[in-house]
Structure formats: structure tokens, C-alpha cells
């Protein structure tokens, strides 16, 4: 089971790096990757299969409504209104 988590983490890292190369994310890439690795190390597979998909849903709702609601991103600490996790992406994508 541990190898599955490791394989999925590597996949998530590649997706992250690909997304970073294709958008105008702030230069917080290394910090964001460190946070990704740490969350997977401490929370395991559930971070990749439950928590990240919940982040995606909340992000889509934010884009649809044009703002971030206080009830969004409950599994993440906040930086301003957006989650501190993947802050480089959120700063370039969402108005505070």
C-alpha cells in the first residue's frame, strides 16, 4: 500500500510541475511542493483521494461565483481568504 501512495505522490508532483509551467503561478513552487509532500506523508492516501478533490470542488465553486466564500477550503489553513496550500496558484488565479 505504501508504494501506491508513493506512486500517486510522484504523479501529483508531475501534474503540479506541468501546471506550474503552463500558468502564471507565483514563484512559490518549491514551498507548495514541500507542503504537498508533507500532507501526503502525514495524511496518506486520503489526502490525494479525498482532500485534494474537495479543494478542486471548492476552487471550481470559487471560479463560478467569482469569489471565495468563508465556507470554502475547510481542510486547509488560509492565506487571506484563499487556502495557504498552493498559494502560488491561488494568488495568480483568484482575486482576494
Choose among 96, 94, 91: nearest CA to 29. 91
Of the candidate ranges 4-13, 31-40, 85-94, the one whose mean pLDDT is the lowest: 85-94
Q: Kindly give the interhelix angle for 29-43 and 2-22, rounded to the nearest 10 degrees.
A: 160
pLDDT surpasses 80 at 90? no
pLDDT surpasses 60 at 94? no
65 burial via Cβ count (<10 Å: 0-12, 13-18, 19+):
exposed
Per-residue pLDDT tens digits for 57-82: 998 998 899 888 878 888 888 887 78
Q: Residue 69's Cα: distance from chain center in Å?
A: 17
pTM of the model: 0.77
| Max Cα–Cα distance, the chain, nearest Å | 40
Q: At 96, is the pLDDT very low, low, confident or very high (cuts 50, 70, 90)?
A: very low
Amino acid at each position: 500500500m505504501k508504494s501506491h501512495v508513493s506512486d500517486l505522490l510522484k504523479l501529483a508532483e508531475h501534474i503540479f510541475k506541468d501546471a506550474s509551467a503552463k500558468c502564471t503561478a507565483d514563484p512559490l513552487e518549491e514551498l507548495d511542493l514541500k507542503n504537498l509532500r508533507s500532507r501526503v506523508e502525514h495524511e496518506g492516501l486520503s489526502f490525494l483521494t479525498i482532500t485534494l478533490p474537495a479543494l478542486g470542488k471548492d476552487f471550481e465553486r470559487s471560479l463560478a461565483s467569482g469569489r471565495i466564500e468563508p465556507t470554502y477550503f475547510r481542510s486547509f489553513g488560509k492565506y487571506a481568504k484563499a487556502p495557504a496550500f498552493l498559494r502560488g496558484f491561488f494568488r495568480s488565479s483568484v482575486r482576494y
